Structure 1
Amino acid sequence: MRIENSFIPVRGVGETTERKLWQQGITHWDEFDGSVVGDTVADRIESFIEEGRTHLERGDVSVFTEALPAASRWRCYENVRENTCFLDIETTGLDASCNDVTTVSVHRGGETKTFVQGRDLTSQRLEDELEASSLLVTFNGQRFDVPFLETCYDIDVATPHVDLMYPCKKIGLDGGLKAIEKDLGIDRDMPDLSGRDAVRLWHEYERGDEAALETLVEYNRADTKNMEPLMEIVTDRLHETVFEAACAGE
Structure 2
Amino acid sequence: MLHNTFVHIPGIGETTERRLWQAGVETWDDFREPYPQFLSAQKVQLIRTHLGRSLAQAGEQAPYEFYRQLPTAQRWRIFPHFRHAVAYLDIETTGLSFIDHCITTVSLYDGKEVFTYVQGENLADFAEDIRQYQLLVTYNGKAFDVPMLERYFGFKLTQPHIDLRPLLQKLGFTGGLKGCERQLGLDRGHLAGVDGYFAVLLWREYRRTGARRVLETLLAYNVEDAVNLESLLVQAYNLKLQGTPFAESHRLPLPLLPEKVFFPDLELIDRLRGRLRGC
Q: TM-score, normalised by structure 1?
A: 0.90
Contact 1:8 1:14 (8 Å CA) reproduced: yes
Gaps of 5+ in 2: 248-279
Partner of 1:208: 209
What is the CA–CA distance in structure 1 between the aligned matches of 2:133 and 2:16, rounded to whole Å?
32
Seen in structure 2, the aligned counterparts of structure 1 residues 32 and 243 have a Cα distance that, compared at 3 Å, is same
Moved more, 222-231 or 13-22: 13-22
In structure 2, relative to structure 1, the CA distance for the partners of 1:54 and 1:237 (3 Å cut) is same
Are residue 168 (structure 1) and residue 168 (structure 2) matched?
yes
Distance 1:91 1:168, change over 3 A: same
**Is the 1:134–1:159 contact (alpha carbons within 8 Å) kept by the matching residues of 2?**
yes
Distance 1:166 1:44 in 2: 31
Aligned partner of residue 123 in structure 2, secondary structure: coil
Whether the 8 Å CA contact 2:7–2:71 is kept in 1: the answer is no
Give the whole-Å Cα distance in 1 for the aligned partners of 2:228 and 2:177.
9
Whole-angstrom distance in 1 between the partners of 2:126 and 2:46: 37
Aligned counterparts of 1:244 and 1:79: Cα–Cα separation in 2: 15
**SS of alignment partner, residue 12 of structure 1:** coil
Superposed CA deviations along residues 97-125 of structure 1, whole A, max 9, x for unmatched, are 41111111110141111101111011xx3
Please name the residue that 1:233 is paired with: 235
What's the secondary structure of 2:178's corresponding residue?
Answer: helix
Flag the structure with more relative contact order, 1 or 2, with Cα contacts below 8 A and sequence separation at least 6.
1
Contact persistence 2:127–2:153 (CA under 8 A): no
Identity of aligned residues (%): 37
Query: What's the counterpart of residue 248 of structure 1?
Result: none
Q: Which structure would you say has the larger Rg?
A: 2
> What code does the residue aligned with 1:39 have?
A
Aligned to 2:186: 186
Distance 1:190 1:37, change over 3 A: farther
Return the alpha-carbon distance in structure 2 between the equivalents of residues 72 and 175 of structure 1: 23
Matches within 5 A, 1:1-250: 2-33=1-32, 34-35=35-36, 36-122=38-124, 125-192=125-192, 193-210=194-211, 211-244=213-246
Q: How far apart are the structure 1 equivalents of 2:42 and 2:54?
A: 18
Q: Which runs of 5+ in 1 are unaligned?
A: 246-250
Distance 1:95 1:39 in 2: 54
Number of residue pairs aligned between Structure 1 and Structure 2: 242
Which amino acid in 1 is paired with 2:198? Answer: D
- Contact 1:89–1:220 under 8 Å retained in 2: yes
Q: Secondary structure at the match of 1:129?
A: helix
Q: Which moved more, 1:235-244 or 1:77-86?
A: 235-244
Helix, strand or coil: the match of 1:9?
coil
CA distance in 1 between counterparts of 2:6 and 2:19 reads 11
Once the 2 structures are TM-superposed, how far is the Cα of residue 55 of structure 1 from its aligned partner? 1.6
> Post-superposition shift, 1:138?
0.8
Residue aligned with 1:162, SS: strand
Give the letter aligned to residue 75 of structure 1: R
Query: Cα–Cα, structure 1 residues 94 and 14, in superposed 2: closer, same or farther, change >3 Å?
Result: farther
- 3-state SS, counterpart of residue 241 of structure 1: coil
Once superposed, what is the RMSD of the aligned Cα atoms? Answer: 1.8
Letter paired with 2:175: G
- CA–CA distance in 2 between the matches of 1:70 and 1:104? 27
